Amino acid sequence: MQIYLPIAEMSVNIFLLIGLGGLVGILSGMFGVGGGFLMTPLLFFIGIPPAVAVATEANQIVASSFSGVLAHVKKQTVDFKMGTVLLVGGVIGAAFGVQVFKYLKEIGQVDLLITLSYVVFLGMIGTLMFIESLGAIRRSKKKMPPRKAKRHNWIHGLPLKMRFRTSNLYISAIPPFVIGIMVGVLAAIMGVGGGFIMVPAMIYVLGMPTKVVVGTSLFQIIFVTAFTTMMHATQNFTVDAVLALLLLIGGVVGAQIGTRIGVKMKAEQLRILLAIMVLGVCLKLGLDLVLTPTELFSIGTGGH
């Protein structure tokens, strides 16, 4: 059954979209990631214009992260104060990101920017995760204790210190603010929540306890992606509500199935699987940039 997407202006199979949403939902449930960094490239592969894919994915992430944060609020694993500092930075970053996006769309380089960002970030994260989980598997075989994150580092020398009770931290507000800005820029340019950058940064840079990391990151992601959605909707007119809704339906169901699969698998195995998948998507996007395209010409959207 085909459905016509009003903003993307194309007809797509409705089950393909729900299926894609479901697949990414399963993965996000299994690995505890938002899934935006997998969904957006998949949308490119099925022919959705990149500008529409990025803006629409931001809207979909609002739904999935809101659904996720509710559970964390009940468990009291959200550091609202830390989340607020992160989101102030996030909103500033997103506002800047959307302007960059708009400018590059006008000069016809937006697709390149999106693809390059994906190749760089997926490559980095994939490689790090792969090495890290290989190490973890080796350690668990030798029965060695896992390395501890450093609690005292350069972060503690910065001014503007604040007390974050839920995270049990007394640190400067500058690092979370800067992390927020970076995540905001990524959210606007790549159509991702940015959890895959923020979660490691919260653990390794800020030294937050692992149990509050996911809830706090989801809390920040809701606001940043909501803001990004509004900016894309009002400046680029590229949010496709029908596409978002269809992806959502598959996504929420998939996430629940994925959570159950995830419980049965070992954390290291999960992470190495995710790393391989991330590197696979990265490789595909990277090859598209490097290999000689079959069609050297394209019809631009900036002409009118």
Partner 1 sequence: MRIIFLIIGLFAATIASAQETVVSELSQDGVSITATFNGSEIFLFGAIKRDAPVNASAGKLDIIIEVSGPPTETLVRQKERKVIIWVNSQSVVMKRAPSYYTIAATGPLEELLTESERSLRNLGLDYAVRVANPEDEEFRAALIRIHQKNGIYATEITPVTLTEDTLFTTKLAMPVNVVEGEYTVKTMLVRDRRVISISTSTITVRKTGIEKWIYDLAQEQAFIYGLLSLAVALLAGWTASEVFRRIRG
CB of 108 to partner 1, least distance (A): 5
For 206, what's the count of Cα atoms within 13 Å in the CB-facing half-sphere?
37
Residues in CB range of 242: below 8 A, 6 or more apart: 3, 5, 6, 7
CB of 300 to partner 1, least distance (A): 4
CB of 56 to partner 1, least distance (A): 9
The two structure tokens encoding residue 289: 């940039």
Ramachandran region of residue 292, left (φ > 0), alpha (ψ -120 to 50) or beta? Answer: beta
Pick the closer one to partner 1 by CB: 35 or 207: 35
Pick the closer one to partner 1 by CB: 129 or 248: 248
Pick the closer one to partner 1 by CB: 155 or 257: 257
Residues 190-216: b if buried by 16+ CB within 10 A, e if exposed: bbbbbbbbbbebbeebbbbeeebbbbb
CA-CA distances (angstroms) from residue 216 to 128, 173, 191?
A: 23, 15, 19
Q: Are 106 and 243 in contact (CB under 8 A)?
A: no
Pick the closer one to partner 1 by CB: 8 or 190: 8
Pick the closer one to partner 1 by CB: 81 or 232: 232
Residues in contact with partner 1 by the rule CB under 8 A: 1-4, 6-7, 9-11, 59-60, 62-68, 70-71, 108-109, 111-112, 116, 226, 229-230, 232-234, 237, 239, 241-242, 244-245, 248-249, 252, 255-256, 289-290, 292-293, 295-304
CB of 119 to partner 1, least distance (A): 9
Q: Is residue 16 classed as helix, strand or coil in its secondary structure? A: helix
Ramachandran region of residue 237, left (φ > 0), alpha (ψ -120 to 50) or beta? Answer: left
CB of 181 to partner 1, least distance (A): 22
